[in-house]
Amino acid sequence: ETGVTQSPTHLIKTRGQQVTLRCSSQSGHNTVSWYQQALGQGPQFIFQYYREEENGRGNFPPRFSGLQFPNYSSELNVNALELDDSALYLCASTSDIRGRPTEAFFGQGTRLTVV
């Protein structure tokens, strides 16, 4: 196991609703990234948090937002859910943000279904 935990594991929401997904990063890791993986695709980078601030964002609209807490855990919030938001949402933690790229450890993901 990687030590990265996500909750909940599965979720069903109605179009237009809001959702919050949670991630607890691996001990000692100060950077958390979120990815969206649509069915049959590779994960797509949503955004990254370092020291409680967003530090990079992929091609996702502002209704995707996040938080990082002092203990490095993180939340992903999605407002005004759309059917296309149905996907596996993965959280990854790494130990550093500068210098050599380091390995990222992923949680088991949250599978979100929007109906």
User: Which stretches of the chain bind other proteins, using CB under 8 A?
Assistant: 2, 33, 35, 41-45, 48, 50, 55-58, 88, 90, 92, 94, 97-109, 111
CB-nearer residue toward other proteins: 77 or 102: 102
CB of 68 to other proteins, least distance (A): 13
Whole-Å CA distances, 62 to 20, 24, 33: 14, 23, 16
Residue 73 or 106 having the CB closest to other proteins: 106
**Closer by beta carbon to other proteins, 38 or else 115:** 38
User: In terms of CB distance, is 43 or 81 closer to other proteins?
Assistant: 43
Q: How far is the CB of 109 from other proteins (least distance, A)?
A: 5
Q: For residues 41, 22, 85 and 17, what is the CA-based torsion angle, rounded to 10 degrees?
A: 170
CA distance 111 to 28: 26
What is the closest distance, in whole angstroms, from the C-beta atom of residue 113 to other proteins in the complex? 13
Cβ contact 67:32 at 8 Å? no
Q: How far is the CB of 78 from other proteins (least distance, A)?
A: 18
How many Å apart are CA 91 and CA 37, to the nearest integer?
11
Residue with tokens 């407002």: 79
